[in-house]
Amino acid sequence: MKTIIATLVFAVSTFVLSAQTEIKTETNGTTVTVTVPVPSNKGTVYAVLHSENTFMKDGGVEVNSDVKDAIATITFENVTPGTYAVLLFLDTNGNKKMDFEPNGMPAEMYGASNNVMSFGPPMWSDAKFEVANEPVAIEIRL
């Protein structure tokens, strides 16, 4: 009986630990710089760098930038090589969260890497991009 319980605990803990894989950043990683043209000079852009495991879920590396001269520039530092996607939104009311209309539609402007603009939430396969050892610069439209 103890063997069965120990095996179950090991299996569950292995599953939980592998399900919580985060984006690893190291001092020898590279930078991912995101430039966001904004139609006004107010607000803060909140961006999250996601791996496939955290895409459209909690997790990932969060960075924000105030809008200056109708541009927001976000830099993710020390990103290890891999496949990532960026999701972001423009917070114009200062509540630090994405707001939605009563019907579920976004009330604030948002964007995704590769400028995915579809009806419905972005898909990982459309938003993903590769990071190697060289710095990456992308522009995301709202």
Q: Residues for the chain: how many in total?
A: 142
HSE, side-chain direction, 13 A CA sphere, residue 74:
27
Residues of the chain above pLDDT 90, percent: 70
Question: Is 77 among the domain residues?
Answer: yes
Question: Is 53 among the domain residues?
Answer: yes
pLDDT at residue 17 greater than cutoff 80: no
Spatial CB neighbours of 88, under 8 Å, sequence gap ≥ 6: 34, 36, 45, 46, 47, 48, 74, 110, 111, 112, 140
Which CATH number belongs to the domain containing residue 66 in this structure? 2.60.40.10
pLDDT band at 27 (very low <50, low <70, confident <90, very high): low
Tokens of 49: 């760098």
pLDDT band at 28 (very low <50, low <70, confident <90, very high): confident
Tally the domains of the chain. 1
In the predicted model, what is the mean pLDDT of the chain?
A: 84
Domain containing 103: what range? 23-139
Average of per-residue pLDDT across 78-84: 97
Annotate 25-54 with DSSP letters as a single string. EEEEEEEEEEEEE-SSS--EEEEEEE-TTT
Question: Is 75 among the domain residues?
Answer: yes
Strand extents, DSSP E, the chain: 25-37, 44-50, 61-66, 71-79, 82-91, 110-112, 129-131, 136-139
Q: What is the pLDDT of residue 118?
A: 79
Question: Is 37 among the domain residues?
Answer: yes
Q: What is the pLDDT of residue 14?
A: 31
* Three-class DSSP category at 90: strand
Per the model's pLDDT, the better-predicted residue between 74 and 40 turns out to be 74
Per the model's pLDDT, the better-predicted residue between 11 and 63 turns out to be 63
